[in-house]
Amino acid sequence: MSNKQTSVIGFPRIGKNRELKFASEKFFKGEISEAELQKVAAEIRQYGWKKQREANISFIPSNDFSFYDNVLDTAFLLNVIPARYQELNLSVLEKYFAAAHGYQGEKGDVKALPMKKWFNTNYHYIVPEIDDATELKLVGNKPVQEFIETKLVGIESVPTVIGAYTFLRLARYNGQKKAKDFVAAAIDAYAKLADQLATAGAKWISFAEPALVFDVTAEERELFKSIYVELVKKVRAAGLKIALQTYFGDIRDVYQDVVALGFDAIGLDFVEGLKSLELVKSGFPKNTLLLAGVVNGKNIWRADYAQKNALLAEIVSAVGAENVVVGTSCSLLHVPYTVAAEQKLPAETLRHFAFAEEKLVELAELASGDVAALAQNKALFATPRVQANAKVQAELAALTAADFERKPSRLERRSVQKEEFKLPAFPTTTIGSFPQTAEVRANRAAFRKGEISKEQYVEFNRKKIAECIKLQEEIGLDVIVHGEFERNDMVEYFGTKIDGFIFTQNAWVQSYGTRCVKPPVVWGDVSRSAPITVEWSVFAQSCTKKPVKGMLTGPVTILNWSFPREDVSLKVQAQEIGFAIRDEVLDLEKNGIRIIQIDEAALREKLPLRKSDWHKEYLDWAIPAFRLVHAKVKPETQIHTHMCYSEFNDIVITFEASRSDLKLLDALNEAKFETQVGPGVYDIHSPRVPSEQEIVDALHKIIAKVPQQNVWVNPDCGLKTRGETETTASLKNLVAAAKKLRAES
Ligand code: GLN
Ligand code: ZN
């Protein structure tokens, strides 16, 4: 197995030291010019191309760069720009930023376009907005410009662009017209782009069509075919070769169409694509390249070459060695730049990691069959990376069905808890965090840097907790929180306090726009060696007679916002984190905390893209992991959970309904949901103070759908990003609204 070609779908684009983020921020503040921002962007692109060339990548993409998001780029390429942005008297780039994050200034006042999760990643894209007046046509030239840029440095790149199907599938339609009404215009626009690229000297164009990995309906399948039957002909007439690139799963619903359409290259994901191998074995067109996504583009571990070679051998036997190109499963946008930027972790740890730049080398080594590299890789995988934790292993082995089942029945618990808490109708509470003011953050930072003692740090936070509780009592909230002043982030906080996680210095990945996150890495067996939150909660409870909610992050959310291990199943990792959080739950209970909230903000995050895979691949382990955490508490202990935009089960549950038109309530109704719920009655993402009447109206809508004895009253998420003044005002209105409903009932 040797001398194959290699291909890359996309490269990180934030800059090795997040240069794009810092330059964009300066640009928005007017500290640098557009030309200076463009210069930074060009340097970032050059860096990526240089690295790919050094690794001898055969198919290097261009147009994978973006100032904010590739879907938004495509909207601007295709003139899908709502009039309110077009009309602004700004440069094109400024209009683009206005659509990305809104514009408020002397030239106008427009909100941003909505943002949505990009498939099953933690990246978010801008949702294009189409109305009946939208005139879809080619107006931009970014792909051509970037292709020319690569040519100038002697690289013949593959211009890549989000394809018409995915673009039209992800867009939102505000008028009568639907996707199919824009097919002819889209074919024309993409064909023109192909013409311009050919004129500029390109040999290929690659259409990214990840939306093919969703469940595809018969109608969507027709839409896809209607686009590509024509477009393939036109692109070919322009003299270009044409690649269809898919990722984040397999394309089982359209595979037969895809292989019949005459693409010159087809990109499939063999990491997340459960059926990709089966599909290529069922037949693959002759003289067509298979861009085989075998190296995981989403995780940070080194590839196991023996395993990858075995997979490649199967692929080769199905499609022929001459057709196989070695690639990554998705764009490398979803991993950090390079392990070389990590100075604090020991070399023995770092040699197990492959970020974007190291993955380029992996592609090259897998493609060339480099014997020395293979031997080295074999040695790396021959010795176990970590030692198993015997105690955790024994606990895993001892798990039985009873560990996941809370007793007694919900009905019995309900009456015990009614006695225990004697809460009024429409009980009021918050989701946990209170405003994280500059002094709160400064206190944490000072402690972290060793500038203040532990005592000083704790003293400050206790003072904040006591104030926060006094405030909540004055406002009249029924269930109190401590305010989460000790936490920077709901996952990182627990990660740093639980054994088994490690943290990087520079492993940033883009989350939205130029915002990045630095996920913890699950390194070994997870276990909790000491209580984490108990002291804070116990102190908080000592400040009030009202019940204080313990506040924890759930195992699925911790796992979903980390880089998971690949040598152990997600199910086992979720169970191990579950043990740690369960022990914390039981310690809180032992120490007099009678209500405990377990946040599963990211429960939906990794839900499979196909509904048919939801249970088998995900919910069948995610829900039990969550149950494990609270199954063993006493009947009188009340468990709450909070899920941003989620649905789900058991316990008192609060979710963000204020922005999603309470549609979830219909779903809960249909599912005969018996649990108490607290649909968010106002949107914490905005500094606006909701009026009492607004909240009363929201509650009326809620009780039209949910039995009123099941309704809690709370904001839709934590308050940490809000200011203190607006928070107090909003919560006062919330309590007043709850009182009004009590009086009515
Ligand atoms: N308890 C957390 C908070 O209030 C929940 C955050 C979240 O759901 N993202 O901040
Ligand atoms: Zn939330």
HEC secondary structure over 394-459: HHHHHCCHHHHCCCCCHHHHHHHHHHHHCCCCCCECCCCECCCCHHHHHHHHHHHCCCCCHHHHHH
603 lines ligand 1 (CB under 6 A): no
Contact 96/102 with Cβ under 8 angstroms?
A: no
Q: What is the CATH number of the domain that holds 451?
A: 3.20.20.210
Q: Is any ligand 1 atom within 6 A of the Cβ of residue 717?
A: yes
Residues 77 and 153 in one domain: yes
Are residues 122 and 236 part of one domain? yes
Closest ligand to C-alpha of residue 655 is 2
What was the pLDDT predicted at 20? 98
Closest Cα to residue 161, out of 183, 191, 136?
191
The kind and range of the H/E element at 129 are: strand 129-130
The pTM score is 0.93
Is position 685 annotated as part of the catalytic site? yes
Pocket test for ligand 1, best of 472, 477, 484 (most atoms within 8 A of CB): 484
Task: Indicate whether residue 551 lines ligand 1 (CB < 6 A).
Answer: yes
What is the model's pLDDT at position 659?
Answer: 46
| CB of 644 sitting under 6 A from ligand 1 | yes
Q: Evaluate if residue 670 carries a pLDDT over 80.
A: no
Q: What is the pLDDT of residue 683?
A: 78
Contact in structure between 147 and 66 (CB atoms under 8 Å): no
3-state SS class at 244: strand
Q: What pLDDT is attached to residue 649?
A: 35
The whole-number pLDDT of residue 532 equals 98
How far is the centre of ligand 2, averaged over its atoms, from the C-alpha of 172 (Å)?
Answer: 24
Ligand 1 closest atom vs CA 720: 10
End-of-domain residue from the set 352, 380, 408: 380
The ligand with the least distance to the CA atom of 646 is 2
Residue 121: how many CB atoms within 10 A of its CB? 20
Give me the number of domains the chain comprises: 2
If asked whether residues 554 and 603 sit together in one domain, one would say yes
Query: Which DSSP category does 652 fall into?
Result: E
Ligand 1, atom 8, lies closest to the CA of 601
Query: How far is ligand 2, taken at its centre, from the CA of residue 636, in Å?
Result: 26
**667 CA to middle of ligand 2, Å?**
19
Q: Which residue has the tokens 């949901």?
A: 673
Whether residue 249 lies inside any domain: the answer is: yes
Residue 387 included in any domain: no
Question: Does the CA dihedral 518-9-47-117 come out positive or negative?
Answer: negative
Residue 359 and residue 326 in contact, taking contact as beta carbons nearer than 8 Å: no
Q: Is 71 in contact with 125 (CB distance < 8 Å)?
A: yes
Distance between Cα 599 and ligand 2 center (Å): 8
Please tell me the distance from the alpha carbon of residue 308 to that of residue 366, in angstroms, as a whole number: 8
The boundaries of the domain holding residue 137 are 5-380
Measured over the CA atoms of residue 478, residue 479, residue 485 and residue 488, the dihedral's sign is negative
Q: What is the pLDDT of residues 348-384, one digit of tens each?
A: 999 999 999 999 999 999 999 999 999 999 999 999 9
Query: Whose CA is closest to atom 7 on ligand 1?
Result: 601
445-476 confidence digits (pLDDT tens)? 999 999 999 999 999 999 999 999 999 999 99
Domain termination site, one of 319, 353, 380: 380
**Pocket flag, ligand 1, residue 491 (CB < 6 Å):** no
Instruction: Please work out whether the CB of residue 354 comes within 6 Å of at least one atom of ligand 1.
Output: no
Q: How far apart are alpha carbons 711 and 667 in whole angstroms?
A: 16
pLDDT surpasses 80 at 82: yes
User: Could you say which ligand is closest to the alpha carbon of residue 721?
Assistant: 1
> Does residue 373 lie within any of the structural domains?
yes
| Ligand 1 atom 3 nearest Cα | 718
Strands 677-679 and 652-655: parallel
Q: Are 138 and 43 in contact (CB under 8 A)?
A: no
Looking at residue 662, its pLDDT comes to 56
Does residue 642 have its Cβ closer than 6 Å to ligand 1?
A: yes
431 in contact with ligand 1, CB cutoff 6 A: yes
Mark which of 380, 395, 427 sits at the end of a domain. 380
Which residues sit opposite 428 in a β-bridge?
A: 713
Which of these, 621, 504, 508, 684, lies nearest to 122 by C-alpha position? 508
Which is nearest to 602 in space by CA: 677, 513, 511?
511
**Inside any domain, residue 269:** yes
Please give the average per-residue pLDDT across 691-700, as a whole number. Answer: 95
With pLDDT > 70 as the criterion, what percentage of the chain qualifies?
96
pLDDT at position 685 is 74
| pLDDT for 1 beyond 60 | no
* 684 ligand 1 Cβ < 6 A: no
In this structure, the strands spanning 521-527 and 241-245 are unpaired
Residue 386 CB contacts under 8 Å (≥ 6 apart), including other chains: 523, 524, 525
Lowest average pLDDT, out of 546-555, 589-598, 634-643, goes to: 634-643
Where is pLDDT greater, at 116 or 478?
478
**Which of 433, 552, 641, 644 best tests ligand 1's pocket when mutated (most atoms within 8 Å of CB)?**
433
Q: What is the distance in A from the centroid of ligand 1 to the CA of 596?
A: 14
- State the DSSP string of 504-548: -SS--EEEETTEEE---EEEEEEE--S-SSHHHHHHHHHT-SSPB
Q: Is 46 part of any domain?
A: yes
pLDDT at 2: 63
Cα 455 to ligand 1 centroid, rounded to whole Å: 26
Nearest CA to ligand 1 atom 10: 718
Q: Do the Cβ atoms of 289 and 266 come closer than 8 Å? A: yes
pLDDT at residue 651, as a whole number: 37
pLDDT given for residue 708 in this prediction: 94
Residues 494-498 have a mean pLDDT of 96
Q: How far apart are CA 277 and CA 269, in angstroms?
A: 9
Q: Are 445 and 667 in contact (CB under 8 A)?
A: no
Q: Is the CB of 432 under 6 A from ligand 1?
A: yes
Rounding to the nearest 10 degrees, give the CA dihedral for residues 213, 219, 221, 223. Answer: -110
Can you give the pLDDT at residue 646?
40
388 CA distance to ligand 2 middle (Å): 34
Mean pLDDT of 394-406: 96
CB atoms inside a 10 Å sphere around CB 541:
22
- Residue count of the chain, please give it: 745
Report the distance separating Cα 315 and Cα 280, nearest Å: 7
CB atoms within 10 A of CB 732: 16
pLDDT score recorded for residue 116: 86
Q: Strand, helix or coil at 89? A: coil
pLDDT at 657 over 80: no
Query: Tokens standing for 132?
Result: 């009946």
State whether 346 and 457 are in the same domain: no
3-state secondary structure 150-203: HHHCCCCCEEEEECHHHHHHHCEECCCCCHHHHHHHHHHHHHHHHHHHHHCCCC
Say if CB 126 and CB 115 are below 8 A apart: yes
State in Å: Cα 588 to ligand 1 middle. 19
How much is the mean pLDDT over the chain? 94
User: Which ligand places an atom closest to the C-alpha of 644?
Assistant: 2
Cβ atoms of 168 and 211 closer than 8 Å: no
Residue 122 has pLDDT above 80, yes or no: yes
Identify the residue whose tokens are 């009456």. Answer: 415
pLDDT at 742 over 60: yes
- In this structure, what token pair is assigned to residue 194? 């192909």
Q: Which atom of ligand 1 is nearest to the CA of 642?
A: 8
Residues 367 and 456 in one domain: no
Q: Do 623 and 691 have their domain in common?
A: yes
* Percent of the chain whose pLDDT exceeds 90: 87
Q: Ligand 1: which of 549, 717, 721 to mutate, most ligand atoms within 8 Å of CB?
A: 717
Q: Say what the pLDDT of residue 656 is.
A: 47
User: What is the rounded average pLDDT of the residues 431-440?
Assistant: 96
Instruction: With respect to residue 308, please indicate whether it lies within any of the assigned structural domains.
Output: yes
Same domain, 293 and 442: no
Q: How many CB atoms lie within 10 A of CB 539?
A: 17
Strand partners, 172: 129
Three-state SS sequence of 706-734: CCHHHECECCCCCCCCCCHHHHHHHHHHH
**Residues 653 and 739 reside in one and the same domain:** yes
Q: Are residues 366 and 441 in the same domain?
A: no
Identify whether 204 is part of a domain.
yes
Indicate whether 49 and 126 sit together in one domain. Answer: yes
- pLDDT exceeds cutoff 50 at 648: no
- Is the distance from the beta carbon of residue 722 to the nearest atom of ligand 1 less than 6 Å? no
One-letter amino acid of 48: G
Q: Which of 101, 630, 642, 685 is catalytic?
A: 685
Give residue 727 CA to ligand 1 midpoint distance, Å. 15
Do 160 and 93 lie in a common domain?
A: yes
Are residues 638 and 546 part of one domain?
Answer: yes
Residue 334 covered by a domain: yes
More confident residue, 153 or 687: 153
Closest C-alpha residue for ligand 1 atom 4: 718
- Three-class secondary structure of residue 658 per DSSP: coil
Q: In the predicted model, is pLDDT for residue 325 greater than 50?
A: yes
Question: Comparing C-alpha atoms, which of 213, 170, 212 is closest to residue 75?
Answer: 170
